[in-house]
Structure 1
């Protein structure tokens, strides 16, 4: 699926989509960091809401890592962008897992001191 490990660290949306529905193992350790971006979050949310996706837990973990990294880096100028994204996704979210991520993300944005790597980092206890 990926030409080499360097390519796996810069995946296209189509490559991520193909992997989501495959039985393939995660291409690289900590790959959550490679797929996370504002542009990919709606697609990642669609995977979490799709029972046909083979890697729902992985993508749910991506969401927690995304919010955690965002809040931890204190990108205050982009908070509105994240809130708008969460509000758009909230309207179409189907699964309880996705709705929980949205609720928890909004709470963390309002209360950044609640950040705990165990829940917002790789291997999130909210997911695994």
Structure 2
């Protein structure tokens, strides 16, 4: 699917979509960081709402990482973009998992002191219940 590991770290939306519906393993450790950007989030949300997507857990975890990284950065313009994005995807959210991520993300934006890497970092306890 990817020519090499370097290309896996700069995936196109089409490559992400193909992988989402494949039997392929994660192309690289911490790949959540490679797929997370503002442009990809609506697509990632659509995967979570699609029962046919084989990688829903991976993508849900990536959403928590995305929110956590932005809030922890304390960059106001990025937080404003995240807030706007949450409002946009909330309108079409179907699953409880996605609605819960939106709710928790809005809460974290309002209360950034509640940030805890165990819940907003890789292998989020919100997703993996560890």
Give the CA deviation at 1:75.
Answer: 1.1
Q: Deviations over 1:39-88 (max 9, x none)?
A: 00000000011000010000000100000000001111232211111011
Equivalent residue runs for 1:41-120 within 5 Å: 41-120=41-120
Q: Deviations over 1:72-106 (max 9, x none)?
A: 01111232211111011111000000000000000
The TM-score, its normalising length taken from structure 2, stands at 0.97
CA distance in 1, matches of 2:99, 2:119: 16
Give the CA deviation at 1:11.
Answer: 0.3
Q: Does 1:5 align with 2:13?
A: no
Q: How many residues align?
A: 128
Unpaired segments ≥5 residues, structure 2: none
How much is the aligned-residue C-alpha RMSD, in angstroms?
Answer: 0.6
Unpaired segments ≥5 residues, structure 1: none
The TM-score, its normalising length taken from structure 1, stands at 0.98
